[in-house]
A and B are shown apart, each in its own frame.
Chain A
Amino acid sequence: MISVAGQPYDISGIIGEYPARSIERQLLNTMSNSSGTYQYDNLDQLRFEVRLRKEIVNASVELNRSYFSFAVFRNSRANPEYWDRTTNGGFRLKRGAKPSEAIRDILVNGAEYATECATAMMIVYYIALLNVYSEDLFNRVFPQIYLMNWHSLDPLLREAGLPVEVTDILIGDRGYFNNPDVSPETPELQGENVIVLPNELYYGHGIGITTADAIIQILNNNRKEGATRSAYFMNTAARPDFKRLADVYLNRTQAA
């Protein structure tokens, strides 16, 4: 169920704001019918979350369409005009570079970028937030960006690196396919970070947009000899703190 300001909330109050079969409607229905409780201080926080989740889906599709490619950290690369590549393979926003331009550049000049699946998830979040926040707000909230899987996350996005068991896997969640018997020489295939998309599809960087079965098959093809355990989708999800991100958005937007 959904709870707003401590009271159960009937989604009929806002579901009409969204087109039939839209991502927002699917989300509201799943949350409303859930045995778990999704709590919000106010309705705007709920609206923000479904909007940001939709943008996470859109950002995944955009990134998948770009020429942004896969590489293990040791072979990672980024456009040096915007990013400094650190010794551990991460990307740090260059001094003087505009955060919004640097994030957009990943889509525009995708061929100059390559990294692994977890960092791609963080890039998805930044693109999505850039599509929701104004450019000015984005640049004020994220003046420094460091992209290196779940390492040294911005405090506002810290929860994106901390998967927890959840009642429902929602569209826009960050999920994980685990490959327990992976070949010891391919640590990058120990699992696949994914964004959950509509229609039972997933976006995994390097794999693309596909089904759970296809991802499991790819991971299973990279197991050690004598492997007995199949790759599987974990019943956990990592979610940025949507309420905190909403408050940043609502407070700054209203104050402006």
Chain B
Amino acid sequence: MQKDYCFLDRVRIDRGINKCKAAFLDVYSNDKWKAISCLNDSRITFPCLYVLANNIEVLNIEGFLSSRNKCALKIKNRIQLRSRYYYGEDISANDKRAVYPVYRWIFETGHEEDGMDDGYEAVMDAVVSVLVDIYKDNSILPAAADMIFSRNRKGHYTHDLLWAFFRSSTPEALKLIAERICSSNQQDADLACHLLNIEAPNAGLNLEDRQKQYQDYLKWLNENAQSLNFTGESFQYSSNPIICRVKQEGSE
């Protein structure tokens, strides 16, 4: 079933970002309130708000946006403008219950368009990180795994997203990665094996052998799921981070 997009999203998806911006400015030049109403359409997606963010700022109309849109732009700006020593307000801590749906909305309407540009990916990295780490929302992990492998295929930056993904510290995250061992795409299989610290399948390996490797890993995971210790290691620390270890009997 076709999604029910708002006017601005429809233009963006069918005709591109520049036409979307032009359409918005065209409506605005004729009727400011109609343009604001388009932005506040409940069906608008985060990618659409993202591409219009500069126009919204230049026209100085943030104050007329819905509270969700205002909050989403605030999150976006804070993430993109952060400096090395950022001590800014922590939206996620200010009012967790009120802000959570905004993070969810950004992710739900935005994850499929990950890769739009570097700034957009940075926002998605942080949104995944906050949802997983602050809100313990692991329901986003399957879509986040898709983002990881999609970026990897394109040679985009993945390290922050991987770090956020594994902060879930759940065997479910490992399962989602392990599924890619069977991928027909060698880059997927190589990354999956690297992350799971298992030998990468030979490029010539047939699907049956890959599936056996996957099944072997799942068997290991099921046997050890209760005694895994997630280390927090990342690609900032090591070229070969050990995501988890099996706790030894008697150890913490």
Is the CB–CB distance between A151 and B155 below 8 Å?
A: no
CB-CB under 8 A from A188, the residues of chain B are 84, 236
Bitwise interface map of A from 91 to 122 toward B, beta carbon under 8 Å scored 1, else 0? 00000000000000000000000001110000
Tell me, in angstroms, the Cα distance from A191 to B247 when the chains sit together.
Answer: 24
Tell me, in angstroms, the Cα distance from A87 to B126 when the chains sit together.
Answer: 19
The stretch among B157-165, B201-209, B214-222 that forms the contact with chain A is B157-165
Interface assignment of A86: CB less than 8 Å from any CB of chain B = yes
Tell me, in angstroms, the Cα distance from A162 to B239 when the chains sit together.
Answer: 6
Is the CB–CB distance between A225 and B239 below 8 Å?
A: no
Interface assignment of A45: CB less than 8 Å from any CB of chain B = no
CB-CB under 8 A from A74, the residues of chain B are 118-119, 121-122, 157
Interface assignment of B240: CB less than 8 Å from any CB of chain A = yes
Tell me, in angstroms, the Cα distance from A225 to B134 when the chains sit together.
Answer: 9
Mark out the residues of chain B between 223 and 243 whose CB falls within 8 Å of any chain A CB in the assembled complex.
232, 234-240
Is the CB–CB distance between A184 and B236 below 8 Å?
A: no
Our pick among B79, B119, B235 for the contact of A185 (Cβ within 8 Å) is B79
Our pick among B86, B157, B237 for the contact of A73 (Cβ within 8 Å) is B157
Task: Work out how many contacts link A and B, with CB atoms closer than 8 A.
Answer: 102
Is the CB–CB distance between A187 and B90 below 8 Å?
A: no
Our pick among A150, A161, A187 for the contact of B164 (Cβ within 8 Å) is A187
Tell me, in angstroms, the Cα distance from A188 to B158 when the chains sit together.
Answer: 13
Interface assignment of A70: CB less than 8 Å from any CB of chain B = yes
Tell me, in angstroms, the Cα distance from A86 to B234 when the chains sit together.
Answer: 21
Interface assignment of B71: CB less than 8 Å from any CB of chain A = no
Q: Nearest Cβ distance between residue A2 and chain B, in whole angstroms?
A: 28
Bitwise interface map of B from 104 to 148 toward A, beta carbon under 8 Å scored 1, else 0? 000000000000001101100110011011100000000000000
CB-CB under 8 A from A176, the residues of chain B are 237
Interface assignment of B156: CB less than 8 Å from any CB of chain A = yes
Is the CB–CB distance between A225 and B125 below 8 Å?
A: no
Interface assignment of B167: CB less than 8 Å from any CB of chain A = yes
The stretch among A17-25, A47-55, A216-224 that forms the contact with chain B is A216-224
Is the CB–CB distance between A224 and B93 below 8 Å?
A: yes
Q: Nearest Cβ distance between residue A238 and chain B, in whole angstroms?
A: 8
Interface assignment of A12: CB less than 8 Å from any CB of chain B = no
Q: Nearest Cβ distance between residue A245 and chain B, in whole angstroms?
A: 17
Mark out the residues of chain A between 46 and 91 whose CB falls within 8 Å of any chain B CB in the assembled complex.
70, 72-74, 86-89
CB-CB under 8 A from A180, the residues of chain B are 232
CB-CB under 8 A from A186, the residues of chain B are 82, 86
Tell me, in angstroms, the Cα distance from A176 to B238 when the chains sit together.
Answer: 10
Mark out the residues of chain A between 204 and 240 whose CB falls within 8 Å of any chain B CB in the assembled complex.
206, 218, 221-222, 224-226, 238
Is the CB–CB distance between A190 and B163 below 8 Å?
A: yes
Interface assignment of A198: CB less than 8 Å from any CB of chain B = no
CB-CB under 8 A from B235, the residues of chain A are 149-151
Contacts A74-B121, A185-B129 known; A151 to B90 CB distance under 8 Å?
Answer: no
- Residue pairs across A and B with Cβ atoms less than 8 A apart, 24 shown, are A87-B157, A88-B155, A149-B236, A150-B237, A150-B239, A151-B159, A161-B240, A163-B237, A163-B238, A176-B237, A178-B237, A184-B130, A184-B133, A184-B134, A185-B82, A185-B92, A187-B164, A190-B236, A191-B236, A191-B237, A193-B236, A218-B85, A222-B86, A225-B90
Q: Which 4 A-B pairs have the closest CB atoms?
A: A161-B239, A150-B239, A184-B129, A225-B93
